[in-house]
Structure 1
Amino acid sequence: MTIHTLHLAAFSAEPLYGPEEARTIADLAETLIAEGQASFTLEREGTVVAHACYTPLRLVEAPQLKAYVMAPLAVLPAWQKQGLATELMHQAEEALDADAIFVLGNPLHYARRFSTPHQVSPPQPTDHAACWFARALKPGVLDDLKSASQIDGALNNPELW
């Protein structure tokens, strides 16, 4: 199974997304991999069942911090609700040795894990700013930080925000 097929299957099964959005997300995953963004997978029974990409995010007021945006993340429908997304994120967080991870996503999926209060604006204007979540991986790194952020590559597309 390809990464494209995995994302297409996962997002097509989600009631919040239609087939066109699922294709856009699957294409985005392939593009991010081609750009060389950090890419992580989990295998079960010889099949890739989960995948996530992480793109570096520059915090304008704290350029020394190592931050990433996680997007997209997908788990095959038959493998969902088994903790694989959490396992994959944990694996990625350890490998990246990041200070903070950000995500623009559904609060039902991300609000618990990405619950660090922050004042970092998304890299593009969005109508979904309430869904811009952070996870500080090193204590205090986002405390008292008010900053804009910048991102390069495919995730810098305003239509994705």
Structure 2
Amino acid sequence: MTKETITLRETNPTDLAEIVRVQKEAFGYDKEAELTAALLGDASARPYVSLLAFRGGKTIGHILFTRCRIEGAQTAQEGHYILAPLAVVPEYQRQGIGGALIRKGLELLRERGAKLVFVLGHKEYYPRHGFVPDAGKRGFQTPYPIAKQDADYWMVQTLPEAGFTEHKGRVLCAEALDRPEHWRE
């Protein structure tokens, strides 16, 4: 049996039920699905990049990048994002679908002038996609404190070649993500 091609596209408002279904299947509970739905309806998360992955006409993955900013910056900031969440339904995990969603999302963000992308996630997985562990060491603190032993899970990626030249400080995220429970296990 040959693998069918994975297709990716940006989401639209009619996709919400499928996005929620993918999130619930991927995580096995409702927390990320509820967070995703809240972020998609949160004006402070915009502009965002939201992508779905399909194989054989079936929706199998979703990724969301929402706008954020750095506390204390003197000028309006454009192009700062947080990746949260990334979901692939269990039967399609470990097949490169998450990586494809990350690559396409970063490509779209780069085209739209993004500068920094943050993620709080698996320190073994996200560095394979260009994220640098312990964003705090580079001057970017999480919206809420995380345990010192978890510092490597807070990561950043710079999209332009210039590197980490942006204003440093605490990252301020969309209202729906701005709750302590989203920043600890």
> Percent identity over the alignment?
30
Match for residue 52 of structure 2 among 37, 41, 48: 41
> What TM-score, normalized by structure 1, do the two folds share?
0.82
Q: Secondary structure at the match of 1:130?
A: helix
| Aligned equivalent of 1:23 | 30
Q: Residue 144 of structure 1: CA displacement?
A: 7.7
> What TM-score, normalized by structure 2, do the two folds share?
0.72
Deviations 1:50-104 (A, max 9, x none): 1011111102347545110000110111111121111111211222231111000
The equivalences for 1:52-91 within 5 A come to: 52-60=63-71, 61=73, 63-91=76-104
Long gaps (5+) in structure 1: 13-21
| Aligned equivalent of 1:109 | 125
Distance 2:166 2:108 in 1: 26
Distance 1:66 1:24 in 2: 27
Deviations 1:5-64 (A, max 9, x none): 21111112xxxxxxxxx3111111111122264211111111111101111110234754
Long gaps (5+) in structure 2: 1-16
Q: Secondary structure at the match of 1:27?
A: helix
Q: Cα RMSD over matched residues?
A: 2.2
Aligned length: 152
Q: Is the 8 A contact 1:122 1:148 kept in 2?
A: yes
Counterpart residue type for residue 141 of structure 2? S
Counterpart residue type for residue 157 of structure 2? R
Larger CA deviation: 133-142 vs 143-152: 143-152
Q: Flag the structure with larger Rg.
A: 2
Please say if 1:132 is aligned against 2:154: yes
Distance 1:23 1:68 in 2: 23
Distance 1:143 1:136 in 2: 9
Q: Residue 152 of structure 1: CA displacement?
A: 2.4
